[in-house]
Amino acid sequence: MSQPVGRVPQRRNARSNRARILATARQELGRNPDTTLEELARASGVVRRTLFGHFPGRAALLEALAEEAAEALQAAAAAGVEATDPAERALARFSLSMWPVGDRYRMLLALAQRDLGMERVAEILAPARVEVTAILERGQRDGVFHSHLPPAVMGAGLEAMTIALLEEVNTGALEDDGRRTAVATLIAAGVPEKQAHVVVDDVAAAVAAEVVAES
């Protein structure tokens, strides 16, 4: 049985509105966790009724953002990191793959204490944290990274630095496509600066070639 002609555009518009609301919410709540749903509706270019039709309240919107962020971060954490890669290359690739979803990190951390709760945020970030801890542990074992901090603790420090650099990018104080942060990450982990630049440039070129090959 065929669908009424008008329904397909309506559903397409509904999906478009939902995606636009979520994208706007990531941006606005990352800047100001106190942004209201009414303000989000205006910023999204939809009426209040449309926003509430998709998300009956703040909790529903935040949970949708949390699910979206969880999927993106899980995909980024697993993106192309090979167990056979030297640890410094694996860390560079991890950092570069996380950069495009960095704003979701910021948004989650901004909402963590008051809205989502630290346990929910930790659950979302767990795959990425497990991955980077394993990379750091391997690098310490191979003598590539500093060993004065436990891997999980070092990972927490690198995460905090990445968030701080994302904030600087968002304020306009720093321009970065992810490479500068990846270099800073390797240096902080214990890789000499010149080597860090070489590794990041090489990995970035390999990632770009993979994207072209897949397109």
φ, ψ of residue 9 to 5 degrees: the values are -60, -35
In order of their start, the domains of the chain are: 1-56 (1.10.10), 62-214 (1.10.357.10)
pLDDT in tens, 81-103: 666 789 999 999 999 988 888 77
Residue 12 is predicted with a pLDDT of 73
Residue 126 is predicted with a pLDDT of 86
For residue 10, pLDDT beyond 60: no
For residue 48, pLDDT beyond 70: yes
Contact 41, 20 (CB under 8 A): no
Residue 44, CA distances (Å) to 27, 32, 49, 54, 64 in order: 11, 15, 12, 13, 16
DSSP 100: G
pLDDT in tens, 95-131: 998 888 877 777 777 777 677 778 888 888 888 899 8
The mean pLDDT of the chain is 86
C-alpha triplet 121, 183, 213: angle, nearest 5°: 85
Q: Distance between CA 17 and CA 14 in Å, rounded?
A: 5
Of residues 124, 84, 85, the one with CA closest to residue 104: 124
For residue 136, pLDDT beyond 90: yes
Residue 84 is predicted with a pLDDT of 77
> Global pTM?
0.78
| Average pLDDT of the residues in 50-54 | 92
Contact 40, 28 (CB under 8 A): yes
